[in-house]
């Protein structure tokens, strides 16, 4: 392993150009560069070795220029950035020291300098896998936790429908739903995912949306009491079908719309009047809006994991060079559980 102070090769995943339509492997390139394993004095920077990377759907929106974006676009020719779990090699920051494991925004590369340790958090040693801090105990976990408890406002007996149910966020929302006393139905894109949802994750029911020609009828069949809460991960035709099956005072926490991210022209939703007719609250949110819940969330969710009241599934790709494919898998629905890219062993 490379030692602090030496020069090392640094393999990096670069965004070649802005992306139009479906993202593909040719939109990325692997660059091999050199990195000095030391830091300039006088900064508060931290040099880390990256261990796990987190391909997440929101990253697609960073691959194109956008008016009034909620997060800055990537720069073509530069390394992709995203959440990762890393080990500190050199630290100029008082809060971090060598060999600390950290989670935060890092680069899709072997070694990264994190300017002023921005977004980094130290990972507590609580006997749970490091990669969990990119999922159930990280951004997707807080997304599910905050969105479900603070936006959906569940009541026992609510009929909860989750799209993208077998993904990083959806698997958790369904379980939070069961813990809150809801009847929980998931939509996912393969037989295998449906089986996982029903047999392992504890969904009351689930269906493969790709096998349905009439989503509205599918929802009616699986949710005969209709829908009180729709967890929106996908947008487009599923949202339209849900609006035809929603109960009075229905709630739609809008977490994402993954079916739309790679379309040059997003689909139109034409029955929004149902929002008026059924007094529906559709509420978008970003995980960044709920940073103040982080402590409560970590304590509660790590407790549930230790007590085996929450299960969590990961889908790990091995090797930095697999990262572009891993991200594309999300949009093709190939991941089962949270997609993770493992660059190296944690030691």
Residues that bind a copy of itself (CB under 8 A): 61, 67-70, 235, 239, 244, 254-257, 260, 265-286, 289
At which residue do the structure tokens 């974006």 appear?
Answer: 69
Identify which of residues 97 and 155 has a Cβ nearer to a copy of itself in the complex: 155
The CB-of-278 to a copy of itself minimum distance in angstroms stands at 7
Identify which of residues 1 and 276 has a Cβ nearer to a copy of itself in the complex: 276
The CB-of-257 to a copy of itself minimum distance in angstroms stands at 5
Smallest Cα–Cα separation from 313: which of 132, 113, 57, 118? 132
Smallest Cα–Cα separation from 313: which of 206, 196, 207? 196
Identify which of residues 114 and 330 has a Cβ nearer to a copy of itself in the complex: 330
The DSSP secondary-structure symbol of 79 reads B
Distances (CA, A) of 340 to 27, 39, 127, 173: 20, 28, 19, 19
Sign of CA dihedral 239, 240, 243, 245: negative
SS3 217: helix
Identify which of residues 282 and 311 has a Cβ nearer to a copy of itself in the complex: 282
The DSSP secondary-structure symbol of 321 reads G
Determine how β-strand 81-91 pairs with β-strand 101-107.
antiparallel
The CB-of-330 to a copy of itself minimum distance in angstroms stands at 16
Identify which of residues 28 and 261 has a Cβ nearer to a copy of itself in the complex: 261
Smallest Cα–Cα separation from 103: which of 60, 161, 54? 54
SS3 165: coil
At which residue do the structure tokens 């929004």 appear?
Answer: 272
The CB-of-280 to a copy of itself minimum distance in angstroms stands at 5
Identify which of residues 34 and 265 has a Cβ nearer to a copy of itself in the complex: 265
Identify which of residues 95 and 249 has a Cβ nearer to a copy of itself in the complex: 249
Q: Are the C-beta atoms of 238 and 266 separated by less than 8 Å?
A: no
Rounded Cα distance between 167 and 29, Å, is 26
The CB-of-288 to a copy of itself minimum distance in angstroms stands at 9
The CB-of-203 to a copy of itself minimum distance in angstroms stands at 24
Rounded Cα distance between 93 and 273, Å, is 53
The CB-of-273 to a copy of itself minimum distance in angstroms stands at 5
Q: Which residues pair with 137 in a beta bridge?
A: none
């Amino acid at each position: 392993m490379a030692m602090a102070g030496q020069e090392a090769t640094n393999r990096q995943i670069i965004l070649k150009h802005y992306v139009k339509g479906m993202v593909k492997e040719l939109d990325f390139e692997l660059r091999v560069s050199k990195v000095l394993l030391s830091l300039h004095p006088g900064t508060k920077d931290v040099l880390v070795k990256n261990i796990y990377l987190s391909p997440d759907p929101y990253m697609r929106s960073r691959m194109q220029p956008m008016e009034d974006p909620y997060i800055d676009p990537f720069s073509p020719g530069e390394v992709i950035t995203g959440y990762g779990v890393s080990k500190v090699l050199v630290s100029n920051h008082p809060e971090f020291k060598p060999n600390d494991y950290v989670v935060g925004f890092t680069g899709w590369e072997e070694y990264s300098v994190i300017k002023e340790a921005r977004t980094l958090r130290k990972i507590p040693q609580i006997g749970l896998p490091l990669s969990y801090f990119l999922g159930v105990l990280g951004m997707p976990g807080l997304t599910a936790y905050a969105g479900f408890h603070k936006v959906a406002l569940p009541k026992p007996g609510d009929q909860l429908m989750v799209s993208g149910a077998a993904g990083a966020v959806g698997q958790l929302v369904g379980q939070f739903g069961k813990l809150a006393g809801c009847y929980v139905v998931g939509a996912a894109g393969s037989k295998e995912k449906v089986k996982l949802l029903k047999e392992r994750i504890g969904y009351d029911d689930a269906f493969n949306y790709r096998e349905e020609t009439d989503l509205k009828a599918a929802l009616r069949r699986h949710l005969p009491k209709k829908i009180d809460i729709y967890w929106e991960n996908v947008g487009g035709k599923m949202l339209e079908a849900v609006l035809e099956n929603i109960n009075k005072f229905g709630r739609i926490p809008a977490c994402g719309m993954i079916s739309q991210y790679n379309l040059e022209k997003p689909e139109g939703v034409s029955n929004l009047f149902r929002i008026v007719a059924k007094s529906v609250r559709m509420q978008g949110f970003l995980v960044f809006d709920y940073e103040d819940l982080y402590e409560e969330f970590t304590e509660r969710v790590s407790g549930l994991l230790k007590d085996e009241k929450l299960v969590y599934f990961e889908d790990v790709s091995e090797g930095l060079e697999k990262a572009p494919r891993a991200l594309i898998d999300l949009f093709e629905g190939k991941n089962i559980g949270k997609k993770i890219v493992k660059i190296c062993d944690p030691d």
